[in-house]
Amino acid sequence: MISVSKLLCDLDAEGDGLRYDAADESEKAQIRERKQRRPVVVWNCTKQCNLYCDHCYAAAETEPAPGELTTAEGKRFLDELAEFGAPVVLFSGGEPLAREDLVELVAHASDAGLRPVLSTNGTLLTEERAVALREAGLKYVGVSVDGMPERNDAFRGQTGAFDRALDGIAASQSAGLKTGLRYTITRHNAGDLEDVVALLAERGVDRFCFYHLDYGGRGAEIRDVDLTPEERREAVRRVCDLTREYHDRGHEIETLLVGNYADAGYLVEYARRELGEAAADRIRGYLLKNGGDPTGERIADVDYQGNAHLTQFWQGYSLGNVRDRPFGDIWTDEFNPLLDALREREHHLTGRCADCRYQDICRGGSRLRALSVGDDPFGPDPQCYLTPEERGIDGEAGVPGAAD
Amino acid sequence: MNDEAVRSDMSDPDADSTDRERDDAALEAAVDAPRGDVSREWELFVRESTDDPLTHAGSVSAPSAEIAREQAEWLFGWTAETLWLCPADETRRFAADGVALADRTGETATDDSVGAGETGGEEA
């Protein structure tokens, strides 16, 4: 995650200690020290979902999967995450609110010392449940809204999903929970970007998370509606501009770019053009601390059956299963050559990533997209939209095409 | 790496089990929950050079052995000299007391933890 509001507008937020090693600069409660070196763990606690979204990386269905972790197994798993030092557990799905024991699990995570947060479609979030979750220790609710009503509902496979998501956002806010909106951009909904940000501002939503499409689960089946590099560049520029415009008007929205670390290089270039060299250097310094794409390092995923994955989107490969041994033992296994190589990927990246001037703050972007498109986990990310000049490559011109 | 599949003898590995001394305390707990759902899951073993042990390196989801081989080669072909793939639903996993998650929670696996239609192994 790259915080546009932190880097361009200096907005203080809870996650900055984790993202930029900037805990000392912040007045907000921060995640510090040992926990910064452990991954944020996404737990797909059920496969069951009441919606059927086109881009669902977990390929969720209307029924639970066989062998989902039981309540007791889930609690032990959470204890082991806390013992390992994971800073955050993100309850995801499927739709996590489909689990009747969610409040109990959130309370257990909080008591164990984890920071529990929730990713939901919002449609099942009543005020009563939101209050129960807040009292259980939940710290944040992220609700998926992928466009204005018509496009969102088409994407999510259910008429009325947009209105019910807004009801869920209102319930979360009413319960006093920090609430964000997550929007995954495709060609279908790119035209709604400004309206979604306006909606967020009007509703007083705390945070806007702009997701690039990753090619996992059903997301891999809709690659054809992913943006071109030119379209992506324009969308990211618009997020940067909008963030600054809102802040200039006194509306301190928190905006985050997620899932494509070409954004890191772009932000430095944007800052150089709009704010000057000193700002660009300062931002680059923050992004170095952020460390680039977090696959296999600062993000991890455990699915409903206990399989551990390199990111939440990369469900087709599992490192091991928490039913066999604790997550921390799987994550620190020194005998997995892929895990090792991802953690020193600067020695393995090929193609245009190998000699890019922004490799240290991007680290090649999504390894899953590289694998999905090029059959090579160390090949170039097809979503990179930096120009050859920006990448420091002489003799080429223009924004790279998807096949570059 | 070499594309050639190495076929192994798939006869019953427990045919001579009555001849062996068994330690009742060791490796008795079956980890009996499924690892796959829509696609079949394939346990993946990698050897990087001939004097290395064959090491478990996770699993891939794939509808067939051929697609599993393709995926495993994309992930590990750059370093592996040998890849083995075993269908997870044909793999029996055993652990010593206290190792498996059900043991670590202090609860034994219940029918609820294995869905209808899933064998989870003969030991389930």
The string of pLDDT tens digits covering residues A268-306 is 999 999 999 999 999 999 999 999 999 999 999 999 999
Kindly determine whether residue A66 and residue B37, on different chains, have CB atoms separated by under 8 Å. Answer: yes
Q: Among A313, A322, A305, A304, which residue's Cα sits nearest to residue A258? A: A313
Closest residue of chain A to B54, computed from CA coordinates: A335
Pull the structure tokens for residue B41.
């899951």
Which of B31, B37, B48 is the best mutation test for A, with the most CBs of A within 10 A?
Answer: B37
Cα-atom radius of gyration of chain A, to the nearest Å? Answer: 20
Q: What phi and psi values does residue A179 have, to the nearest 5 degrees?
A: -135, 135
Burial of A11 (0-12, 13-18, 19+ CB in 10 A): middle
- How distant is the Cα of B21 from the closest Cα of chain A, in angstroms? 25
Which has more confidence, A151 or A88?
Answer: A88
Distances (CA, A) of A352 to A262, A267, A388, A390: 12, 19, 9, 12
Nearest to B35 among A321, A325, A377 (CB): A321
Q: Dump strand ranges (E) for chain B.
A: 29-30, 41-47, 55-61, 82-87, 94-95
CB neighbour list of residue A51: distance below 8 Å, 6 or more residues apart: A60, A95, A121, A123, A156, A157, A158, A161
CB neighbour list of residue A173: distance below 8 Å, 6 or more residues apart: A179, A203, A204, A205
Question: Can you tell me the distance from the alpha carbon of A237 to that of A123, in angstroms, rounded to the nearest whole number?
Answer: 31
pLDDT at B121 over 50: no
What is the model's pLDDT at position A137? 98
**B48 reaches A (C-beta below 8 A):** yes
ipTM of predicted assembly, 2 dp: 0.88
Contact A66, A89 (CB under 8 A): no
- How distant is the Cα of A40 from the closest Cα of chain B, in angstroms? 20
Contact A5, A243 (CB under 8 A): yes
Which of A321, A339, A344, A371 is the best mutation test for B, with the most CBs of B within 10 A?
Answer: A321
Contact B83, B45 (CB under 8 A): yes
Kindly determine whether residue B57 and residue A337, on different chains, have CB atoms separated by under 8 Å. Answer: yes
Pull the structure tokens for residue A64.
């639970």
Kindly determine whether residue B34 and residue A66, on different chains, have CB atoms separated by under 8 Å. Answer: yes
Tell me the average pLDDT across B64-83: 96
**Amino acid letter for position A214:** D
pLDDT tens, residue by residue, A164-182: 999 999 999 999 999 999 9
pLDDT tens, residue by residue, A222-259: 888 999 999 999 999 999 999 999 999 999 999 999 99
Residue with tokens 């150089």: A272
Lowest-confidence range among A67-76, A204-213, B21-30?
B21-30
Helix (H) or strand (E) holding A3: strand A2-3
**B61 reaches A (C-beta below 8 A):** yes
Angle at A316 between CA A287 and CA B88, to 5 degrees: 140
CB neighbour list of residue A97: distance below 8 Å, 6 or more residues apart: A120, A124, A125, A129
Closest residue of chain A to B55, computed from CA coordinates: A335
Which of A317, A327, A348, A350 is the best mutation test for B, with the most CBs of B within 10 A?
Answer: A317
- How distant is the Cα of A232 from the closest Cα of chain B, in angstroms? 28
Residue with tokens 């990533």: A353
Contact list in A for residue B56 (CB cut-off 8 A) is: 320
pLDDT at A34 over 60: no
On the CB side of A191, CA atoms within 13 Å amount to: 5
CB neighbour list of residue A320: distance below 8 Å, 6 or more residues apart: A307, A308, A330, A333, B56, B58
Distances (CA, A) of B104 to A75, A230, A356, B27, B95: 11, 51, 47, 15, 11
Tell me the average pLDDT across A119-137: 97
3-state SS string over B23-47? CCCCCCEECCCCCCCCCCEEEEEEE
Kindly determine whether residue B33 and residue A306, on different chains, have CB atoms separated by under 8 Å. Answer: yes
Q: State pTM to two decimals.
A: 0.86
